[in-house]
Chains A and B, each alone.
Chain A
């Protein structure tokens, strides 16, 4: 099973600043990596697939990068609705696995 490790566990950011979230895989994934956002009490929302492609309706301030085993999600100019938990997910190998999440909180 591929282990996905996200860091940091919690990131404190002021509104308007940018945030950089990391996701590391225990094996190479190519670019088969997705990012999701989850706000309290809500289902997750797909943000990024293919490591860097934004899903439908996702604002341009969300960007993904990376390949192989190291990936990054960058959120530029954080808005109030962006404070949430973010998960990465690999889809190269079965079973599908998620990272443990990064909580982006207001500083």
Chain B
């Protein structure tokens, strides 16, 4: 059974930083592209970032490029995202998601980590 478990969410001040982690199990992690998708309170889904299985290729939404950094440690089966220069509009539940091989769709999701940006 595939399991994705996010951690690291919390309250952070505007301009601050936070690192989220996503521990994966039940899949061959090093072969899996992974992604972060977020959802602001009461709003829809917004794709944030994606990283290839090797970590060599990364992609970002325009709204976070230059502020967020996606990375992975295949020896630990863990995905990360470093959130920097945070703004109030970054407040959201951040979901870790496995990218289906052959498409760029999200077939497994974590339960999400809430990030609140407020002073």
Mark A residues whose CB is within 8 Å of B.
Answer: 1, 32, 34, 36, 38, 43-46, 49-50, 55-56, 87, 89, 91, 94-101
Contact = CB atoms under 8 A, between A and B. Distances in A.
Contacts of B44: 87, 98-101
A100 to B, nearest CB: 5
B42 to A, nearest CB: 11
Query: Chain A's interface: helix, strand, loop or mixed, by majority?
Result: loop
Contacts of A89: 45, 47, 105-106
27 contacts: A1-B62, A32-B103, A34-B105, A36-B45, A38-B45, A43-B109, A43-B110, A43-B111, A44-B95, A44-B106, A44-B109, A46-B107, A49-B105, A50-B103, A56-B107, A87-B44, A89-B47, A89-B105, A91-B103, A94-B59, A95-B62, A97-B47, A98-B46, A98-B47, A99-B44, A101-B44, A101-B45
